[in-house]
Amino acid sequence: DELKLANPNFYLGVGSGTHSVQSAKVMIEFEKILVEQNPHLVMVVGDVNSTLACALAAAKYRCSNQQYNPFIAHIEAGLRSFDWHMPEEINRRLTDSLSDFLFTTEPDAEDNLIKEGIDAKRIFYVGNVMIDSLLRFKEKAEESTILTQLELKNKSYAVLTMHRPTNVDDREDFEKLLSALKEVSKSIKIIFPIHPRTKKMLHEYRVNIDFLKIIPPLGYLDFIKLMIHAKFVMTDSGGIQEETTVLNVPCFTLRENTERPVTVTMGTNIIVGKDQMKIMQETDKILQGKAKKGQIPKFWDGMAAQ
C-alpha cells in the first residue's frame, strides 16, 4: 500500500516451509497459471526459491506442450558467490541454465555466464532494477518519521540486519558475531530491525543482546530512510550491499563472500565476515571520517527496466 503498487493478477498463496516444500508448492500453483494463460514469456527476478520454481515450471511446461513454448528471462542473472552452502547460489545457477534471456546488473555477472558456456548473444547488461525502485522512492522515503519515532539523529547510529543460516543457525558462529557487535556498540548505537528467523534463534539460545536496539521489521520506505541517515550499515543481505552503494553509505558485509562484487570494487561495501578485529578497524575508520569512498556502477541510474 505504501508504494501504491497495483494488485497482482494472480496470487499463488504459498507460505513458508522447507526449501523443497516451498519450491514444490510454487511449481504446482504456477503451472496452473501457465496452463490457463499460455504466456509467451516468463520473467523471473533474483535468487529466491520462487525464482527457480517458476523457471523450472516454465521449462517443464514447454517440454510437455509444444504448441505453447514460453521463453524464460532471468533478471539479475550471472551473480555468483561460489558458495554452494547458500540456497540462493543453487537457485541462481539453475535458473540461469534454464533461461533464454539473461539480464545482468554488473560486468562480473556477464563474465560468469560466459565462463559457464552461455552464449553472449543471450546476455544483456541492463543495470539494476532494484536500484530503479530505490531511486524512484528515495524522495518519498525521506517523508518517513522513523528517525523521530526512534529518537535518532542523522549519522548518529549504525544499522544491522542479519538473517542468514550461516550467521544465526550455529550458536558458536552467532555468538562470535554478537561479540564483535558488542564491541561496535561501545562506539555507536546499533539499530537492529530483527528478522523472524534471527528472533527465533535468539530466543532459543537465550543470549543477552541488550547492547542492540532491537525493533520490529520495517516497511520499505522506513528502512530506506533509516539507511540514508545511518553512519554505516552492517548486513548479510545481498540487496542492501547494492542499496548502500547507491546511497553512498558505508557497508560491512557480515559474510566471507559476496555475489555482488561490484559493490566492493566500485561501491562502499567491505567484506568483514565475523572477524572482530576487522569489524572494529573499519568502524574506527568511519568514526574518524575515513570511510571508503564509492562510485555508482554503470547503468545503476534508475533506467534498467526501460
Sorted by where each begins, the domain ranges of the chain are 19-126, 133-287
pLDDT of residue 106: 98
For the full predicted model, state whether its pTM sits above 0.85: yes
Q: Any idea which residues carry the catalytic annotation?
A: 163
Per-residue b/e over 28-52, b at no fewer than 16 CB within 10 Å? ebbbebbeeeeeeebbbbbbbbbbb
Residue by residue, pLDDT tens for the chain (306 residues) are 888 889 999 999 999 899 999 999 999 999 999 999 999 999 999 999 999 999 999 999 988 876 778 999 999 999 999 999 999 999 999 999 999 999 999 999 999 999 999 999 999 999 999 999 999 999 999 999 999 999 999 999 999 999 998 899 989 999 999 999 999 999 999 999 999 989 999 999 998 899 999 999 999 999 999 999 999 999 999 999 999 999 999 999 999 999 999 999 999 999 999 999 999 999 999 999 999 999 999 999 999 998
Per-residue confidence (pLDDT) for residue 257, from 0 to 100: 96
CATH class, 133-287 region: alpha beta
| 89 contacts 238 by C-beta, under 8 angstroms | no
59: nearest Cα among 18, 95, 87, 32: 95
Architecture of domain 19-126: 3-Layer(aba) Sandwich (3.40)
Contact 268, 285 (CB under 8 A): no
Domain 19-126 and domain 133-287, same fold? Reply is yes
The pLDDT assigned to 64 comes to 81
